[in-house]
Structures are given as C-alpha cells and as structure tokens.
Chain A
Amino acid sequence: MKVTLESSDGQVFTVDKEVAELSVIIKEMLVIEQANQDHPIPLLNVGAVELAKVIEYCEHHRNDPTIDDDEDYDSRKKPIEMDDWDKQFTIVNKEMMFELILAANSMQVKPLLHLGCRYAADIVKRMSPTEIRDLFQIDDDFTPEEQDKIEWEKQWTKL
C-alpha cells in the first residue's frame, strides 16, 4: 500500500506505507485517517529537500526493528548500530544535517533523530564552552551567582 506525503513547499511524494510508518507521527495519522486516504498527508515543517532525504533514509531502514526510546536509556553504554550506509548518509554539510534533525524531530523518525544527534554530539566533542558559544552564536546567560555549576563541574572533570 502507498501513501502520499506533501512537503511544506507543496511537493508530493509517494512512498510505501511501511516506509512512511517509520515516522511515528505519520503512523498515528494513518490510524486516525484510515478511511480518508485520497489527499496527501501535509508535513508543514518539512521542506521538499529534507523530506526526500528522510524518505531515502526510511527506505533503507524499512526493515529495522523499532528502537526502544526510553528517556532514561543511557545510550553511552550501548551505542546504536551505525552501518556503512549511515556513515555515507551523514556526509553532508552541517546546515543540511541540522535541517534533517529538525525534520526527523517533527516527523518523529526516531532512528534518524538519533543519527543526527550523534552527528551533533561529534561536533561539540572536545570543544570549550566559549568555542561552542561562538560556533552556534549562543549567549552566555549565567549570572555570577550561578557559579555553583563550576563547583560540581570541578568534581566531575577529575575523571
């Protein structure tokens, strides 16, 4: 069975239902709108370029087991499998990857969201707070009174 998806800029994509269902949001929409399948599902926050990329990802991972997404799950202990295809997939510029993270988040494509967050985590690796602020244009909004953070930080970095 096929479903059609419409990007925020009006482009329509036709994909297999099981591919589209990697998106939790679409899966839920399909349950609700089961009877009414003649119009495309609108994705208001996802542009055509990103949607094409998300679909490419879902096509490749259509048979993967669903991941157990527990808030407390400590992924540093058990990193999710990343195959050669995934590594190829993430060779894009930072802007594209960040758009994909937003798309994966709004569509709730969990494995792609994880992949993107891993990519982002790699960027900040071994940087200093100042370097991170400069790179992403973030303001330091700490008041001097909030220096207790420094105190516990000292403990932790004794590792």
Chain B
Amino acid sequence: MASTSTSPLEVPEILRMISRFVSMKDACVCAQVCKAWTNAFVSAIWHTIDFTDHTLYELDAKILAKYGGHIRVVREMGEDTEVLVILLSKASKLRELEIDMGRKQSLAHVYDVIRRNNTTLENIDITFADKNSVFVVDALFPVSGTGATSRLTSFCFQRLTITREAFSSILKHCPSLTKLHLDDVILPSLPVGDDSGADCYQHRGVTELTAPVEQVFRVVSESEKVTSLLVHFPNLITWKFSGYSEVSIKEIRNEVTRCCPLLKSVWATTPPPLTVKLLAAFKGLTTIVVLNEQLSAEMVKAILNHQDTLLAACTLTDPRFDDYDVVPEVENDQVEASEWIIQAIPRRCGQLEALELPYYEMDVDDIEGEEWICHGLEVLYIRIHGLNTKEKIDRAIQLWIEGRIAIKKTQMDDKDDESLLSDSQLYAVIPKCANSIEARVARHLLKFRHLQRVWFGWRIRDLKYND
C-alpha cells in the first residue's frame, strides 16, 4: 500500500473537484467544516445565482463583494434589487446571464452588469418589458483598443425595438456567435435589393436561428416586398421556427435558396397545417423536428418529400423523457390513425439515421410487414405495442445485445461485411420459433448494424455504455 499519511481531503484540487458533485445544501454545510473547505466549496456555492431560488437582498455589500468573483451564471434577474445585488457583487466573470425585465426597471444598471462582463459572457438571454425599450448595444462589446473581443456564442433577445444598423452592429462585434434567438423584435426591413450596405452585415458563424416565421419575413404590406433576416446568415444550417402568420411559401423558398444554401435542418413549432405547408418551402432537408402531436398523414407526406436526404425525423419531446422510471401510458389521441402511417418513414427514407418518435407506438406486425430500408439506422426511440413493461423492454434489449455479440463472433474474419443479415442468419441467433414480442423486436433491431441507442418507453440504452 502507498503511504496513508495524506488524505485526498487535504489536497485542495481534489476538494474542489468533490465540491462539483455535492448539492447546494451539502456544499453550504461543507463550507463550514474548516477554512480549507470554505475555500474549496465557495465557488460551487456561488457559481450559479438563480433568483427564482434566492433573494440575497439581505446580504451585506461587503459579503457580496467578497464572494461575487465566483459567480459565473445568473438566472432570472428581474427586479431592480436583483440587478443591484449583482452590481454590488462586482461579478465580472459571468458566462451566462438571463434577464427578464420588469416594467419599471432601470435599464442603466442592467447595462452596467452587461458591460462589466462583456469579455466573458457566452450566453445572454434578455427579455425586455415592452417593445419601446432602448437597447444600448454598445454594452455588449468590449471597449475597442483593449484587445478583448466578445465571446458571446448564444444570444437571445425578446420584445424590443432595434434599428437595422444596431442589429448589424451586434452581429459585427460578436464574431463567436453561433446561435441567435429573437422573438417579438421590431426591426425595420430593408427594401429588396439593398442587402450589401452597412445595415446588412453578413455573419458567417451563425448556424442556428430561432425565430418565428413572421419575425424573419416581416410583411409590412402586401405590395411592399422586403428582404428577410436570412440575408444576414449565409451559413445558417438550422432554423427553429414558430409563428402563425401566412407567409408566401414561394417567397420563403426563394429567400432560403438565395441566402441560406446550407439550411438543412428545421424545428417546427408552428400549427400543423402551417408546418405541412412550410416543409414544402425547403429542399433536401436532413433533419425535421415537429411537435409531438403533429404526425398526421399529411405531415408524414410532407416529411417524405425529403425522403432521399432525411437523416433524422424527430418529434419535440419533454427533454426528461429518458429519466422516466416507469413506462408512461401512450395517450390515445396521439396514436390514432398515425400508427401505420409513420411506418412509411423508415420504409422510404434510405439515409435515415435517427427516428425519434417517443410518443408514437408501432405494431410489431406492421414492422415485420415491409422492410425498413434505412440500414444505417443508429438511434431509435419508439414504443412498440405490447412491449409495455420495464421488464419486457429490458428483455427485448438484452436479447438484442446478446444477439449482436453472437453475430460479431460468427463474423470475426469478415469485419467489413456491410451487407444485410439474411433471415437465416437472424434465425440462427434468435430461433424462428421464438415468437414472443421481445424476440420479434430484438430480431428486427439486429438488422441494423449501426444501431446503438434505443428507447422503448423507459431509459435510453446506449451500447456505448452498456456493451
């Protein structure tokens, strides 16, 4: 045994590492153990200030200033007093800042907070109280001549009036920006053809835009054609859109073709009839994400317009669905009528790598009915009729994993064999007479050599971690 004279708890960097794994409450307790522990745990305690949880009003300015240097993330800063707390803390290394402004807010202090942190901020999410707010965009940029540049990568702003010049200025001074989210922002349009001037800065780094359709294509009057916001983002890949207004599909198609040739991924939270129409405005999409209740026959048809290029077909889901520790019930109105129609997606989209429809249920008879041509499938989230308990799901996955190992063994000499498994190969692993739902599902999964992540109702199983 090595010397036991040192305890890892006497090593400051180990204590600091431990501090990252304790809850806030436990961190507060640990900080009171002794001075060394205070030093180690204080940054974990002050790392994130979420004003939905804390007030901190009563804290003495001296204490705020003493620990403020540890603050990295501020959420839900709204009231004047909260802004003041952050100002008094002298925090100057913030990475994330979320502001939801009240009506009587003094904006000057908010801009002071931003200004003090404009060399470290990576994420800003700011919602203004009313559209007449004036945004001092200069607060976002480090003072020129100091050599510092903005590190902002993700910027969200809502409810604001801004000039096109100021908007261009934001883009110009935030070179690291990759994600932009704007909603309810009044932004004067440019007349058609005027997209080369100073008011029309093209940002080559932004790849993801979240904005309602009507925000991007603001229609002032029917006769007046305007340049869309897309003109600012020549390298845009993903557009997450919502909205209600009818914008001419032709106009969207023209603008996308003209301005954003790389745009291949859409997240649609528009109402279903509008989504169906909008999907036709794009060509050769690789990723389509729609709301989970939207997979009607029309929607599937609209998705299949992209069948030759589609890599991922997904429904937007509760991000915590993989944490469920019971198998949730399928709500009937979601499955009705769409059960068989969604089969068309794996049967027709040959390139498909991810099918993530956790709110839909398939029937194993349908699955076996016609071949899925997406041989490169890697991710599958779906429910299967009858596979409705944790035990059954786990058994099916276990059979699949065991089958996979058995197949690997028989193919040792022939590693590069990419051809489909024949039925006889499959039956050699899981005999034909094994006719339980689990065996049938496992047999289907074995057809996809690259499949590695599955979910059938509870817990995502990833072969990377379970193999």
Contacts and interface: CB of A to CB of B under 8 A. Distances in A.
B412 interface: no
B4 A126 contact: no
Interface in A126-146: 126-129, 132-133, 136, 138-142, 146
B53 interface: yes
Interface residues on A, range: 35 or more
Contact of B33 (A50, A74, A125, A133): A133
B42 to A, nearest CB: 9
A114 B58 CA distance: 36
Contacts of B53: 159
A139 B48 CA distance: 29
Nearest to A102: B8
Contacts of B1: 47, 49-50, 99
Interface in A28-76: 45-47, 49-50, 72-76
B14 A117 contact: yes
Given A152-B67, A155-B58, A157-B28, A47 B2 contact: yes
A133 B9 contact: no
Contact of A141 (B9, B34, B44): B34
Interface string A148-159: 111111011111
Contact of B23 (A76, A120, A148, A149): A76
Interface string B30-58: 11111101100000110110000111101
Contacts of A9: 2
Contact of A138 (B9, B25, B60): B9
Interface string B1-34: 1101011110101100110111111101111111
Nearest to A129: B32
Contacts of B37: 138
A124 interface: yes
A75 B48 CA distance: 12
Contacts of A127: 26, 29
B22 A125 contact: yes
B6 A102 contact: yes
B73 interface: yes
Contacts of A121: 18, 21-22, 26
B18 to A, nearest CB: 5
A152 B72 contact: no
B465 A76 contact: no
B21 A103 contact: no
A126 B26 contact: yes
Contacts of A141: 34-35
Interface string B214-246: 000000000000000000000000000000000
Nearest to A95: B4
Contacts of A95: 4
B436 interface: no
A139 B33 CA distance: 8
Contacts of A138: 9, 33-34, 37
Contacts of A113: 14, 17
Contacts of A124: 18, 22, 26, 29-30
Interface in B46-88: 47-48, 53-56, 58-60, 62-63, 66-67, 72-73
A140 B63 contact: no
B56 A155 contact: yes
A136 B9 contact: yes
B466 interface: yes
Nearest to A71: B16
B10 to A, nearest CB: 9
A144 B18 CA distance: 27
B95 interface: yes
B20 A73 contact: yes
A109 interface: no
B2 A103 contact: yes
B13 A105 contact: yes
A139 B112 CA distance: 43
B265 to A, nearest CB: 23
B81 to A, nearest CB: 14
A8 B20 contact: no
Contacts of A155: 54-56, 58-59
14 contacts: A47-B2, A72-B95, A74-B48, A114-B21, A117-B14, A120-B21, A125-B23, A125-B26, A127-B29, A128-B29, A129-B29, A151-B59, A155-B56, A155-B58
Interface of B: 1-2, 4, 6-9, 11, 13-14, 17-18, 20-26, 28-35, 37-38, 44-45, 47-48, 53-56, 58-60, 62-63, 66-67, 72-73, 95, 465-466
Interface of A: 8-9, 45-47, 49-50, 72-76, 79, 81, 83-84, 95, 98-99, 101-103, 105, 113-114, 116-118, 120-122, 124-129, 132-133, 136, 138-142, 146, 148-153, 155-159
Given A50-B2, A125-B26, A152-B63, 19 more contacts: A47-B2, A76-B21, A76-B24, A81-B465, A99-B4, A101-B8, A105-B11, A124-B18, A124-B29, A132-B30, A139-B34, A140-B34, A151-B59, A153-B32, A155-B55, A156-B25, A158-B54, A159-B24, A159-B25
